[in-house]
Amino acid sequence: MSYLSGRHFLQIPGPSNTPLPILAAIAKPTIDHRGPEFAELGLSVLGGIRTIFKTAKPVVIYPTSGTGAWEAALVNTLSPGDKVLMFETGWFSTLWGKMTKALGIEADIIKGDWRSGVDANLIAEKLRADKAHAYKAVAVVHNETSTGVTSNIAAVRRAIDEAGHPALLLVDTISSLGSIDYRHDEWGVDVTVGGSQKGLMLPPGLSFNAISDKALAASKTSKLPKCFLGWDDMLASNVNGFFPYTPSTNLLQGLKVALEMLHEEGLDQVFARHDRAAMATRRAVQHWGFDIQCRNEAEYSSSLTAVRLPEGHSADALRREILNRANMSLGNGLGPLADRVFRIGHLGDFNNVSVLGVLSGVEMGLKARGIPHRAGGVDVAMEALAGNSPPVAHAAE
């Protein structure tokens, strides 16, 4: 590609833009990961990350992508041949299911339509029928990055409890952590999986397991092989701020600043900012005349919006047009949604002007590609951000 002038708008649903203070922290000289300065850093981030998950329990930090944390959640709690109940909400729930099978775990996956969230009633029905308690865990995705659908985790917890079932609850919050309100303890989640490159505003490379007491107890009898991803050595070293192997020291330096930035803004304000951006984006999309991939308003994601183009129009061609004209990257459609949808990320570090700039780039691309739409979507979004439009319902807790 030839040089594209101006700021690059990275508007995929993660990795998100990394703010300069975080980049500056990552660029600091690497420190001794066995020395007192690192111990102070380690204790700071290990304690601070709990506030983002809203848990008083331990959070393990891995030098991996979110995929590593997916695997850690499984191998630390389950044994070969165990049965897990999963719900297909999109591409990433499907990938987690494939991993489960590859590890020798039986995955019973409830089929979904890729336009809706987890149906807690279907979870309850499956669990009530499981009189022998064959299911050892229920694994779901909180915010499905491929579809822009947010599921009600509290409802899943209630379904498990009302069925009187002892299954663990494992939740992927990779694209919602730090962007959408998430409550590990309150919602009774046993293992929550997170990643660094979205709402936490870091580059890829760190992932997380928030662990309940029940999950920790399950890890003592788990028979799946684990070494690098094992919790025991991690938790033992973490007590003093250290890690059992060389950690991503510079990313942890960045994480400390990211946590400080989130708390300086205030988590409630962070979530409200994401809600407003998502609402304004949806208003623009609906004004243009396009369908949102998520069907149910109560399940709309505040991290991203997946947009369905009319039949006969290529979402990938539109994305290329926008990249060339506006120096802006949008998310592609995944799996069966390939070339049918494009995804607008509105998560991490942004403000109202960022949102309007993104929508301007999209509207310019629509016009350039000759895709039928009603002009003026940016104006509608501007009215919404100015507070002149009624709010839209957000995902229920």
**Annotated binding site for substrate: which residue ranges?**
343
Q: What residue numbers does the annotated binding site cover? A: 343
CA diameter of the chain: 63
- Name residue, tokens 């779901």: 140
**Dihedral of the alpha carbons of 248, 264, 144, 185, in degrees to the nearest 10:** 90
Sheet containing 341-345: order of strands: 9-11, 328-332, 341-345, 304-308, 291-292
Identify whether the C-beta of residue 192 lies closer than 8 Å to the C-beta of residue 184. Answer: yes
Distance CA 9, CA 357 (A): 9
204-210-216 Cα angle (round to 5): 135
Sheet containing 191-195: order of strands: 59-62, 207-211, 191-195, 168-172, 135-141, 83-87, 106-110
